[in-house]
């Protein structure tokens, strides 16, 4: 019998919606770090690629010249929301249109046997959490997306919000959780729609982006949570594939997660942040390659309330950027956001010039690629590349990183460029 080190992911298949897929999901990375080109490259090779729906109205303006941000800013001016943001409303038909338009464009270019999903974070509250979440979910279904991964929240209403849509039972729907408890709550609350999720992503404490843990994240292990979630599903006689994500750097890490923890597939993201297709600016990709282990930290600057992992050199940390709610405002909840509060407190105390260390203006800073979020293995990215004659790290292609996960053995990283 072969050891995990001798096996490759190619020996496994993920069965989803009656299809046989390479068991590699490239995780969603907002805002537009997981681009259309990245997700399509993964789907073309038989895996599952994710785009993200984070700030799609703004992204659609940039990609297709639509006028959502201008329209919203005009509405804000008319309602004079500069001081009081409780009345600040996102034009909901515009939100749905943006999602439909973006997703339809992605899907129209899809080739191969894989799938393209969209990652939808509940925490983009947009001042009216449920109504805007509904517009985003319906827009993604309108656009013909193969599946939706619900993340960054408990999503206890999300299935109900979509249940009238004609594609509610046709699209693959999954939930990202970090515990048995979160999954149980989701299933209990979604039961009334008579629909189960098609897959569950278990995200452990080593992932990039926001973490579904407190600041005690280091006390948890992905393998243990996967085993616990598998046990929960077995106890409830549920047969739902479990995808494990967070800290899986090599194909061998993935095989171990499948053979020792019982995962049915893996979700990976950090390795793709520095690919040619990644939406990060090239200079930021170089910073990712240069990162040391000590420079990757988990902090509390995100106004979502979730801890987030990022490079200590992220320009968004301790920035005193004026709150950008009028053009963006995706974190507003009932007129407020914890960055707004922190900014006002710093201003009132006369210490604005020293920066705002407590929180960051997440919408603007993510949009402008100033939050350099990455998984705990980010310091190893340099193992998967080399420097060119100009002294810069050479960017691998998405397809090469995907193939390295698929065919890699013995913990080796073969991906060059
Ligand atoms: C740069 C970056 C951005 C991310 N953005 C999101 C996001 O917008 N929504 C989300 O649910 N997860 C996000 N994640 C988490 C990934 O989708 C994925 O589950 C996780 O990072 C996998 O672990 P790994 O990076 O160690 O491979 C992000 C991860 C990274 C590295």
The domain ranges of the chain are 4-280+389-407
Q: Which residue has the tokens 């785009």?
A: 51
- Residue 205: CB partners within 8 Å, gap ≥ 6? 178, 211, 213, 217, 218, 220, 221, 222, 246, 376
CATH superfamily of 4-280+389-407: Aldolase class I (3.20.20.70)
Kindly give the pairing relationship between strand 209-210 and strand 308-311: antiparallel
pLDDT of residue 81: 63
Is residue 236 classed as helix, strand or coil in its secondary structure?
Answer: coil
The predicted structure's pLDDT at residue 416: 54
Which residue of 375, 376, 380, 405 sits with most ligand 1 atoms within 8 Å of its CB, as the best mutation to test the pocket? Answer: 375
Task: Indicate which atom in ligand 1 lies nearest the CA of residue 247.
Answer: 26
Residue 322: strand, helix, or coil: coil
Backbone angles phi, psi at 304, to 5 degrees: -70, -25
Confidence label for 414 from pLDDT (cuts 50, 70 and 90): confident
Ligand 1, pocket-test mutation among 9, 28, 147, 203, most atoms within 8 A of CB? 28
Residues 152-180 have pLDDT tens digits of 999 999 999 999 999 999 999 999 999 99
Q: Which tens digits make up the pLDDT trace of 262-288? A: 999 999 999 999 999 999 999 999 999
The rounded mean pLDDT for the chain is: 96
- CA diameter of the chain: 70
Q: Which atom of ligand 1 is nearest to the CA of 377?
A: 26
Nearest CA to ligand 1 atom 5: 29
CA 29 – ligand 1 centroid, Å: 5
Helices (H), 89-165: 92-108, 129-142, 158-162
pLDDT for res 380? 98
pLDDT single digits (tens) 118-164: 999 999 999 889 999 999 999 999 999 999 999 999 999 999 999 99
Nearest CA to ligand 1 atom 16: 27
Query: Containing H/E element for 156?
Result: none
């Amino acid at each position: 019998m072969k050891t995990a080190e001798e096996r490759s992911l190619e020996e496994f298949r993920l069965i989803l919606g009656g299809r046989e897929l390479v068991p590699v999901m490239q995780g969603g990375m907002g805002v537009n770090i997981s681009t259309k080109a990245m997700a399509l490259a993964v789907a073309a090779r038989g895996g599952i690629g994710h785009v993200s729906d984070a700030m799609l109205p703004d992204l659609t303006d940039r990609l297709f010249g639509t006028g959502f941000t201008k329209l919203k800013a005009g509405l804000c001016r008319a309602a004079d929301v500069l001081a009081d943001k409780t009345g600040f409303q996102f034009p909901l038909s515009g939100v749905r249109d943006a999602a439909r338009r973006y997703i339809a464009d992605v899907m129209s270019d899809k080739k191969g046997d894989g799938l393209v999903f969209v990652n939808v974070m509940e925490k983009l509250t947009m001042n009216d959490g449920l109504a805007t979440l509904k517009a985003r979910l319906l827009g993604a279904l309108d656009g013909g997306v193969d599946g939706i991964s619900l993340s960054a929240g408990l999503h206890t209403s999300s299935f109900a919000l979509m249940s009238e849509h004609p594609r509610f039972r046709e699209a693959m729907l999954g939930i990202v959780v970090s515990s048995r408890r979160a999954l149980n709550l989701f299933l209990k609350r979604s039961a009334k729609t008579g629909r189960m999720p098609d897959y569950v992503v278990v995200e452990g404490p080593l992932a990039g982006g926001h973490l579904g843990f407190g600041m005690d994240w280091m006390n948890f292990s992905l393998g243990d949570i996967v085993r616990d979630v598998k046990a929960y599903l077995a106890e409830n006689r549920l047969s739902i594939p479990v995808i494990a994500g967070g800290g899986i750097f090599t194909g061998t890490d993935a095989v171990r997660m499948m053979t020792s923890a019982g995962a049915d597939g893996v979700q990976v993201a950090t390795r793709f942040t520095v690919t040619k297709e990644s939406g990060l600016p090239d200079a930021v990709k170089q910073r990712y390659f240069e990162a040391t282990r000590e420079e990757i930290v988990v902090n509390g600057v995100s106004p979502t309330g979730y801890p987030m992992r990022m490079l200590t050199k992220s320009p968004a940390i301790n920035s005193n950027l004026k709150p950008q709610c009028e053009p963006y405002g995706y974190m507003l909840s009932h007129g407020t956001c914890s960055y707004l509060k922190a900014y006002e407190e710093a201003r009132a105390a006369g210490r604005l010039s020293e920066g705002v260390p407590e929180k960051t203006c997440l919408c603007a800073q993510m949009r402008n690629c100033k939050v350099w979020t990455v998984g705990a293995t980010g310091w190893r990215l340099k193992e998967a590349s080399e420097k060119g004659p100009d002294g810069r790290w050479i960017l691998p292609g998405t397809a090469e990183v995907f193939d390295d996960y698929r065919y890699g053995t013995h913990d080796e990283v073969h991906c060059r460029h």
